[in-house]
Structure 1
Amino acid sequence: MKLNYDIIRNLLLKIEEITDGDKNFSPIYFFKEFPETEETVIAYHLKYLFDAGLVEGSEGYVIDITPFGRNYLDNIRNRTIWEETKSKIQPLGSVTLSVVSEIAKSLILSKLGL
């Protein structure tokens, strides 16, 4: 399955909204939160979040976002920055998570005049 960076962003934003570092959230919670997306797609992207070190938890249950995940999310949080980032990577078809983050970071720095 191909990664969908919009789904990754939406999941991270939702996880940030609901987590307190203590409660566990099962994949079923996310299936209900994103009913427009197939469960297999949500499950795949949740697995990716774990594998990439963006979220922490146990046995498939999400507990919180890791510092690495927060760093990534902070780079892509702003809707304008996110849309500009997507337009930059679109011609390439597929890029790594670190490239997505670096493009967003460079756009942020540019907007700050740095």
Structure 2
Amino acid sequence: MLDTNLDSKLMFDTNLDTKTTELMLDTNLDIKTTELMLDTNLDTKLMLDTNLDTKTTKLMLDTNLDTMTTKLMLDTNLDTMTTELMLDTNLDTKLMLDTNLDTMTTKLM
């Protein structure tokens, strides 16, 4: 599917009897957002979300091979000059890195 009215949507969908792949790109010029998502049936999701109004970018990777879960998220905000990186696994491990360029601080948790 391709849908364009200055805002654009592009979707690619493959289903070989649910060995599924989806690719979606959604752009909205009114709210200045772009979203890119890749979803496979191998329990992997990749999402990129950009908002030019709020000056934010989010990148997320989600893997679930029947809850041997991994999540990776990168969140950037140019207004507050912050970057957050989070890794969450089902092996009871969480890693978070938070950087603020305004206050010149970095946190690792």
Question: Do the structures match in fold with TM over 0.5?
Answer: no
Please state which band the TM-score falls in when normalised by the shorter chain.
under 0.3
For the pair shown, which has the larger CA radius of gyration, 1 or 2? 2
The TM-score normalised by the length of structure 1 is 0.22
Identify, as 1 or 2, the structure richer in helix: 1
The TM-score normalised by the length of structure 2 is 0.23
Higher relative contact order (CA 8 A, sep 6+): 1
Identify, as 1 or 2, the structure richer in strand: 2
